[in-house]
Amino acid sequence: MSFVRPVVARKPVAIEPASDIVVRQLVPTDSMEELTALLHRAYRAQVEMGLQPLAGRQDAATTRKRTSSGECYVAVQRTAAGEKLVGTILFHEVEDAKGPPWFQQKHVDSFSQFAVDPEIQGKGIGQLLLDTVERRARECGAAEMALSMAEPDAALMKYYIRRGYRFIEHWQWPYTNYRSAILSKTL
Ligand SMILES: CC(C)(COP(=O)(O)OP(=O)(O)OC[C@H]1O[C@@H](n2cnc3c(N)ncnc32)[C@H](O)[C@@H]1OP(=O)(O)O)[C@@H](O)C(=O)NCCC(=O)NCCS
């Protein structure tokens, strides 16, 4: 299998997030179908690389189960027509599958299911979501914030390295077809 990221024209990048975007905690009235569709859109680039991330193919029931196992945040865009979900991040997900050794430590917290709508990427919404969970980890007394990512996605690895994360170890989840890289940042 080859993991080659397709060549995609990159849009100009704005420095500041759009002013009509707010990050808030997921509420029961948020649509799991809308959130799942957002995840599928965001992870499509990895799927097109031949990777099979869970968030790129999970159904709405799985999204509900995953989001209720941790603290889920959403970035919403307020328009005249109402709110639209444009990003999400899941702080402290508790998974059924055994996790990597780094995650087992008391001083380490983690996030997962991190996505921004491809239509609106590169505007700092990802950074707003990361700031939110890093703040929550500090409030919970963690000294490290960790994550698991698809190792073949070199552009994503650079994204995290630029934000202070470092490589810790490899891990194989039972539901993916690639090796994961565990990264962590000292808070
Ligand atoms: C990772 C992700 C959540 C980041 O969201 P985002 O809103 O684009 O993040 P930001 O705007 O804060 O930062 C974007 C960075 O990527 C670059 N970028 C991302 N999308 C871009 C686009 N469409 N065009 C140009 N640049 C883009 C920006 O230049 C910026 O780079 P920087 O590190 O030099 O600042 C988003 O790319 C995504 O949903 N990816 C697919 C799902 C995924 O891989 N999730 C992580 C799993 S571990």
Mean pLDDT by runs of 10 across the 187 residues of the chain is: 45 54 96 98 97 97 97 93 94 91 96 97 96 97 98 97 98 95 98
Looking at 26-175, which runs of residues are DSSP E strands? 71-79, 82-91, 108-116, 144-150, 166-171
Closest CA to 122 of 11, 33, 9: 11
Distance CA 15, CA 37 (A): 26
Query: What are the structural domains, with CATH classification, of the chain?
Result: 21-142 (3.40.630.30)
> What pTM does this model have?
0.90
The answer to whether 112 and 93 have CB atoms below 8 angstroms apart is yes
The residue contributing the CA closest to ligand 1 atom 30 is 122
The first and second tokens of residue 52, run together, are 């099979």
Structure tokens, 92: 């402290």
How many angstroms separate the alpha carbon of residue 126 from the centre of ligand 1?
6
